[in-house]
């Protein structure tokens, strides 16, 4: 959205404002603010890392200290006595399946909505938009009911299949495909390629940035998901990291002040997302803006 300014004839520019020669107070203040916020934002993570190497009593008695006394990995040892490795494994395969499913199916559906003419297309799009508006809280209980009816409650399928449904992803891919020049597809069609071929070999490779964005968003969403895993299963062998670590604080193991244990668990479960984040940073940033401020 561009602002329109009255165009006045360009006058001779005013002399450089005197404040430039003085100490840049504004910029100094800006740095102060930024550094202050950075401390507030980074300190909890620092504390998390440091505390997971403390003993229980040290953590309780000197919470602010950034130096464990003594340094110990006992918390991690206790953590792996639980089913932490199993939870991690479950999280991995669920996230992989959900991400693959979402990326593939959303790009298919997005392409269909953007480029293929078929009856009911716009109605389907309206339905997608409407679904995006439904707050997830409404779905918490009924998803459980549906899983029951389908007979897949408390099975591995229930963990990942409902998460593959993603209206927002369809929307993102559709937006992207619409921005791809149609001439390329037309050229391919003229050369005799079928629809799927055009999609797979011509258009999809061009969609790389959007696909990567969608991959990252899907991975992050499925790795960090909690409410769905609460209602989708109860078998302990099907716990993912989020649900398993949640029991460290809400369930049987959540007694007493075992902060190094809980913080160590939180640390480990954040690592994969953190790695993905740092490696693919610009796509995260792009993803956060998808569909946001388009002119």
Partner 1 sequence: MTAAPAPAGGLRTRPLRGAGAAGASRAGQGRAGWAFATPQAVLIGLFVLIPILMAFWVSLTDWRGRGSPFSGTVGFVGFDNYAAILTEPGLARQDFMTSLRNNAWYVLLVVPLQTAIALGLALVLNSRIRAKGFFRTAFYFPTVTSSVAISLVFIFLFTGGGAVNALLGVFGIDGPNWFSDSRGLLHLAGDGLGLWDSANPPAALTDGGPLGLTWWDWLSGPSIALAALILLVVWTSAGGYMLMFLAALQDVPADVREAAVMDGANRWQRFRAVTLPALRPALFLVTTLGLIGTWQVFDQVYLISQGNPAKTTLTPAYLSYTSAFETGQWGRAAAMSFVLFAIIVVLTTLQRFLMRDKDAAAEKKAARAVARRRTSTTFFHADR
Partner 2 sequence: MRSPIRRSAQAAVAVAALSLAAACGGGFDDTAEQQESGSASLTMLIASSGDAETQAVQAQVDAYEQESGNTVEVQVAADLSQELAQGFAGGNPPDVFYLDASRLADQADAGNLFPYVDQVDDVDDFYPNLVDAFTYQDTQYCLPKDFSTLALEINDAAWSAAGLTEADYPTTWDQLASVAQRLTTGEQTGLVIGDTRDRVGALMVQAGGWFLNGDGTEATVDTPENLEALQYLQTNLAAGSFAYPSAVDAGWGGEAFGTGKAAMTIEGNWLVGAMEADYPDVGYTVVPLPEGPDGPGTLSFTNCLAVAADSDAQDAAVDLATYLTGADAMTALTQDTGVLPSRQSLADAYLEQFPERQAYVDGAEYAQGPVNAPGAEQVLLDFDSQLGGLATGDPEAVLQSTQTNLEPLVGG
Residues within the interface to partner 2 (CB under 8 A): 120, 122-124, 126-127, 144-146, 148-151, 153-154, 231, 234-236, 247, 250-252, 255-257
Of 94 and 128, CB closest to partner 1: 128
Min dist CB 72 to partner 1, Å, is 17
Min dist CB 126 to partner 2, Å, is 5
Judged by beta carbon distances under 5 to 8 A according to partner kind, the member of partner 2, partner 1, none in contact with residue 66 is none
Assigned token pair, 134: 């439904």
CA–CA separation, 232 vs 236, rounded Å?
A: 12
Judged by beta carbon distances under 5 to 8 A according to partner kind, the member of partner 2, partner 1, none in contact with residue 55 is none
Of 136 and 252, CB closest to partner 2: 252
CA–CA separation, 110 vs 104, rounded Å?
A: 10
Judged by beta carbon distances under 5 to 8 A according to partner kind, the member of partner 2, partner 1, none in contact with residue 205 is none
Min dist CB 155 to partner 2, Å, is 11
Judged by beta carbon distances under 5 to 8 A according to partner kind, the member of partner 2, partner 1, none in contact with residue 64 is partner 1
Of 75 and 198, CB closest to partner 2: 75
Judged by beta carbon distances under 5 to 8 A according to partner kind, the member of partner 1, partner 2, none in contact with residue 259 is partner 1
Contact 88, 270 (CB under 8 A): no
Angle at CA of residue 70, ends 64 and 72, nearest 5°: 100
Of 24 and 251, CB closest to partner 2: 251
Min dist CB 190 to partner 2, Å, is 31
Min dist CB 271 to partner 1, Å, is 10
Min dist CB 249 to partner 1, Å, is 6
């Amino acid at each position: 959205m561009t602002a329109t300014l009255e165009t006045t004839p360009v006058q001779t520019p005013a002399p450089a404002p005197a404040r430039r020669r003085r100490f840049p107070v504004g910029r100094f203040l800006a740095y102060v603010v930024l550094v202050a916020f950075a401390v507030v934002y980074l300190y909890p993570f620092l504390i998390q890392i440091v505390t997971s190497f403390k003993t229980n009593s040290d953590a309780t008695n000197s919470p602010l200290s950034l130096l464990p006394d003594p340094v110990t990995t006992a918390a991690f040892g206790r953590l792996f006595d639980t089913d932490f490795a199993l939870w991690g494994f479950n999280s991995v395969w669920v996230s992989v399946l959900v991400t693959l499913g979402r990326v593939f199916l959303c790009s298919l559906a997005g392409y269909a909505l953007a480029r293929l003419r078929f009856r009911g297309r716009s109605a389907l799009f309206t339905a997608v938009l409407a679904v995006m508006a439904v707050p997830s809280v409404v779905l918490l209980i009924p998803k459980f009911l549906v899983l029951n009816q389908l007979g897949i409650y408390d099975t591995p399928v229930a963990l990942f299949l409902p998460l593959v449904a993603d209206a927002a992803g369809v929307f993102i891919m559709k937006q992207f495909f619409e921005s791809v020049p149609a001439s390329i597809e037309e050229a391919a069609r003229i050369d005799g390629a079928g629809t799927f071929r055009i999609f797979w070999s011509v258009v999809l490779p061009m969609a790389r940035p959007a696909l990567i964005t969608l991959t990252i968003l899907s991975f992050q969403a499925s790795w960090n998901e909690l409410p769905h895993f609460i209602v989708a299963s109860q078998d302990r062998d099907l716990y993912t990291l989020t649900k398993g670590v949640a029991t460290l604080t809400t369930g049987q193991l959540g007694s007493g002040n075992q902060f190094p244990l809980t913080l160590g668990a939180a640390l480990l479960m954040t690592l994969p997302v953190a790695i993905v984040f740092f490696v693919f940073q610009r796509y995260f940033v792009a993803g956060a803006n998808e569909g946001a401020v388009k002119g």
